[in-house]
Amino acid sequence: MGNQNGFLDKVVLVTGAAAGIGEAAARAFAAQGANVVLADIDQEGEQVAKSLCSQGYQAVFHACDVSNTASVTTLFAFIQDTFGRLDIAFNNAGIDIESTKLADGSEDVFDKIMDVNVKGVWLCMQHEIQTMLKTGGGAIVNTASVAGLGAAPKMSIYAASKHAVVGLTKSAAVEYAKKGIRVNAICPAVIDTNMYRRAVASDAKKALAIGAMHPVGRIGKVEEVVGAVLYLSSDAAGFTTGATLPIDGGSTAI
């Protein structure tokens, strides 16, 4: 991705920035000259921001629970007070805490997944759009999933939440198309993150089976997801809005 200064002086918000895809995206935006706001409920995000600042990049961490209205409102007041604008937002915060068939699911799990994955994206998008409208537009990228494009056995609530993210993305894209705000979603399949590695650490056969599920024969790399996020956030994607981009090794082509 390199230091191309492709986002020089842009103000970029990344939620779920403490680890995984969010952290990698924050680092990539910073390396290309952006002022990056890292938001996460996990305080480890502060260490990521400090690491970026130590490399001479512009980054700041702000703790935020995207499912909490007051917390999101505070985050955007901070962005407004600090930068006075928001150019790009990557709504990446999300959870996956489900492994049962639909009829065996719990209301508690349903509420937790929907609160973060759907309400969290909705709340952030509301504030992002209101902020971007003040300065003539911007770009929003939401993290959905291949589970938002089809079925996800034993993850029906998660699938429903990601289908909802796709719906929010498409609807907002049309509503604000003439206002200079582009809204797109990425739909990753299984990606090689620390969370994934922990899940398969004691089961090599499971890791092989998950890789084989993808037509290319492997899971995705974080960098491959981040590349798509940077493209959708850039001027090169100026005619792209309302898109749901699978990053899935061919999974949805079957």
**Does 206 map to a domain?**
no
**Domain tally, the chain:** 1
**Does 196 map to a domain?**
no
pLDDT of residue 24: 98
pLDDT of residue 1: 40
CATH code for the domain of 75: 3.40.50.720
User: Active-site residues: which are they?
Assistant: 158
The range of the structural domain enclosing residue 87 comes to 11-190+221-253
**Does 131 map to a domain?**
yes
Beta-bridge partner residues of 188: 247
**Does 207 map to a domain?**
no
* Closest by Cα among 122, 229, 241 to 176: 241
Torsion angle of the four alpha carbons 38, 41, 45, 46, in this order, in degrees rounded to the nearest 10: 100
pLDDT of residue 198: 83
**Does 205 map to a domain?**
no
pLDDT of residue 196: 87
**Does 203 map to a domain?**
no
**Residue position matching structure tokens 């089961």:** 203
**Does 51 map to a domain?**
yes
Q: In what order do the strands lie in the sheet with 138-143?
A: 58-63, 35-40, 11-15, 88-91, 138-143, 181-188, 244-247
Q: What is the mean pLDDT of each run of 10 residues along the chain (254 residues)?
A: 74 98 98 98 97 98 98 98 98 93 97 98 98 98 97 95 98 98 98 87 88 96 98 98 98 94
**Does 75 map to a domain?**
yes
pLDDT of residue 4: 60
Two structure tokens written together for 65: 């629970």
pLDDT of residue 97: 83
